[in-house]
């Protein structure tokens, strides 16, 4: 039994060493997470007076996680990734389930992307192929290695598209509901998530 434990520990060590090496060779494009915000003009009470489009003609406004209503966070986690705080960036059970269903029905009927995988896909958009899904999983693991779960969730809320040129939760709540993300009702949060 002791011999198997040593082999398992050695195998895990080799996997981790390999991952860290690849992470060094193919670094995470962190700059894509922090670019492209529009300008907000605030009054002395930090109320928005005016907003301007980003340099890519997008309505995208920087939002801290604390500025987002708990209802919206909860609805997003339930709808998009209920196991977000428990997986390493990808959910092996969801991947196996999606693979089984897709093979069973002969077409894509379900996906397995986690919030972290969606974030990885948004910073490096690619065609939907198995190879690119593997790259997406690798990038998701890198995100998990470099950032906390709350930081990943904050980046997700800042980069997720909400239709047209509206990107990020603050721009979406202002455009659709004329209110900041911390003022959403449960119904508005559910509408925004769906």
Per-residue pLDDT tens for 40-54? 787 888 778 887 878
| CA count, 13 A, side-chain hemisphere, 3 | 0
DSSP 8-state secondary structure symbol assigned to residue 39: P
The contacts of residue 59 (CB under 8 Å, 6+ apart) are: 38, 51, 53, 165, 166, 167, 168, 171, 175
At 38, the pLDDT band (50, 70, 90 cuts) reads confident
Task: Supply 104's token pair.
Answer: 């069973």
Greatest Cα-to-Cα distance within the chain, rounded to the nearest angstrom:
67
pLDDT value, residue 53:
78
In angstroms, the CA 125 to CA 122 distance is: 5
Q: Phi first, then psi: give them for residue 48, nearest 5 degrees.
A: -75, 125
pLDDT value, residue 105:
81
| Digit-coded pLDDT (tens) for 88-99 | 998 888 888 888
| pLDDT mean over 13-39 | 73
């Amino acid at each position: 039994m002791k011999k198997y434990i040593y082999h398992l520990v050695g195998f895990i060590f080799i996997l981790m060493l390999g991952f860290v090496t690849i992470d060094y060779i193919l670094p995470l494009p962190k700059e894509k997470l922090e670019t492209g915000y529009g300008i907000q003009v605030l009054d002395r009470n930090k109320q928005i007076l005016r907003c301007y489009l980003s340099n890519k003609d997008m309505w995208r406004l920087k939002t801290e996680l604390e500025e987002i209503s708990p209802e919206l966070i909860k609805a997003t986690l339930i709808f998009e990734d209920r196991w977000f705080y428990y997986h390493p960036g990808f959910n092996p059970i969801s991947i196996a389930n999606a693979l089984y269903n897709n093979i069973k029905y002969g077409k894509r009927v379900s996906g397995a992307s986690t919030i972290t995988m969606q974030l990885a896909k948004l910073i490096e958009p690619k065609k939907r192929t198995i190879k690119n899904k593997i790259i997406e999983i690798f990038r998701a693991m890198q995100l998990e290695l470099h950032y906390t779960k709350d930081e990943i969730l904050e980046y997700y809320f800042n980069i997720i598209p909400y239709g047209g040129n509206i990107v990020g939760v603050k721009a979406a709540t202002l455009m659709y509901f004329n209110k900041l993300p911390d003022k959403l009702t449960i119904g508005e949060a559910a509408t925004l998530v769906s």
